[in-house]
Homo-oligomer: A and B are copies of this chain.
Amino acid sequence: MSRFDVHNLQGFVDRLTGRSLLSAEEQQAIVNLPSQTAQVPANRDFVSLDEVTEHACVIVEGVVGRFGQNSNGERQITTLHIAGDMANLQSVVQTKGTSALQALSTSTILRVPHVALRAVAARFPAIAEAFWRDCMVDAGILSQWVVNVGRRDAKTRIAHLLCEMAVRYKEHGQARAMLFQFPLTQNHLADATGLTSVHVNRTLKALREDGVVFCSGRVVHILDWDGLVRIGEFDADYLQTDVKPSERMRIVETSRAAAA
């Protein structure tokens, strides 16, 4: 493994330790996982539907979508993954994948062999626990998406999505003048919100005219955070991005994991 790869897995460790308590040894065990860097061009599937893959993927750069599909071939993005996410962590405990992964922008991913992930999860129960916890945050996001597409109108849906991504990117100081890279096309936004790209276009225009957010090409510029939160009915709790150190969980004993 190159130093470059090691550095990138550190991003994934940081993600985990934001919510879980891991010893230095455990953290090191994750950083030391074997991995292989790959570049994926935009709109390319790198895990296809029902594929039995041998690797899980950490996103280093770019945005990745998890896709479901109806029988007309219309796709629905069920989750967006950004840098630091392990896009298919659940495959550690599941053999069959149930959805495709596609790079939405040119992305850099790290492929980590399942066999290595399973070994480290088996050896260090606290790592398995941290993986599980991270999967549960993803499930919470999924749950919010069901509410989003099921019970919110177009404007609210898109505002909610933008709020979610703003918090996940953590590139907002507190309230205003927020700006982040979000290289999705309006077609991608449509697939994520269950709308058509035409209606996404009109809705973005409406949000722009409301003066709350401006989306242009690859950048989202939030002009009125409070307004966007209100329109999007957004409450960041479910993202668990700001778990205080004292509230980070560990159910397995420290002594035991350290001894392993």
Tell me whether A156 and B70 are in contact in the complex, defined as CB-CB below 8 angstroms, given that A142-B143, A150-B149 are known contacts. Answer: yes
Tell me, yes or no, whether A98 is within 8 Å of chain B by CB. Answer: yes
- Which residues of the other chain, B, contact A194 by a CB distance below 8 angstroms? 149-151
Q: Does A247 contact B (CB under 8 A)?
A: yes
Q: Which of A66, A68, A99, A146 has the most CB of B within 10 A?
A: A146
For window 181-198 of A, CB contacts with B under 8 Å fall at 193-194
Our pick among B68, B70, B150, B238 for the contact of A143 (Cβ within 8 Å) is: B68
A193 to B147, CA, bound (A): 10
* A96 contact set on B, CB distance < 8 A: 237, 240
A122 touches B70 (CB 8 A): no
Once the chains bind, are B152 and A149 in contact (CB under 8 Å)? no
| Nearest-Cβ distance from residue A87 to partner chain B, whole angstroms | 13
Contact across chains for A93 and B150 when beta carbons are under 8 A apart: no
Interface SS of A by simple majority: helix
Cβ of A225 within 8 Å of any chain B Cβ, yes or no, is no
Chain B residues closer than 8 Å to A94, beta-carbon distance: 133, 136, 240, 249
Please report the C-alpha to C-alpha distance between residue A146 and residue B135 in the assembled complex, in whole angstroms: 17
State A55–B249 Cα separation when bound (angstroms).
Answer: 17
Complex contacts, A78 vs chain B, CB 8 Å: 143, 146-147
| B132 pairs with A128, CB closer than 8 A | yes
List B contacts of A143 (CB < 8 A).
66, 68, 78-79, 98-99, 142
> For window 83-120 of chain A, which residues contact chain B by CB distance below 8 Å?
90, 92-96, 98-99, 118
- Residue A45 lies at the interface, judged by CB distance under 8 Å to chain B: no
A interface, size bucket: 35 or more
With an 8 A cutoff between CB atoms, is A5 at the interface? no
CB of A228, distance to nearest CB on chain B (Å): 14
Q: Does A209 touch B at the CB level, under 8 Å?
A: no
A145 adjacent to chain B (CB < 8 Å): yes
Instruction: Knowing A135-B136, A151-B194, say if A92 contacts B122 (CB, 8 Å).
Output: no
- Of the A-B pairs whose beta carbons lie under 8 Å apart in the complex, a sample of 6, sorted by A's number, is A93-B132, A98-B143, A99-B143, A121-B129, A128-B132, A151-B194
Beyond A74-B151, A150-B193, 15 additional pairs, beta carbon < 8 A: A68-B146, A75-B151, A76-B147, A78-B147, A93-B133, A93-B136, A94-B133, A96-B240, A118-B251, A125-B128, A128-B129, A135-B136, A135-B139, A145-B146, A149-B150
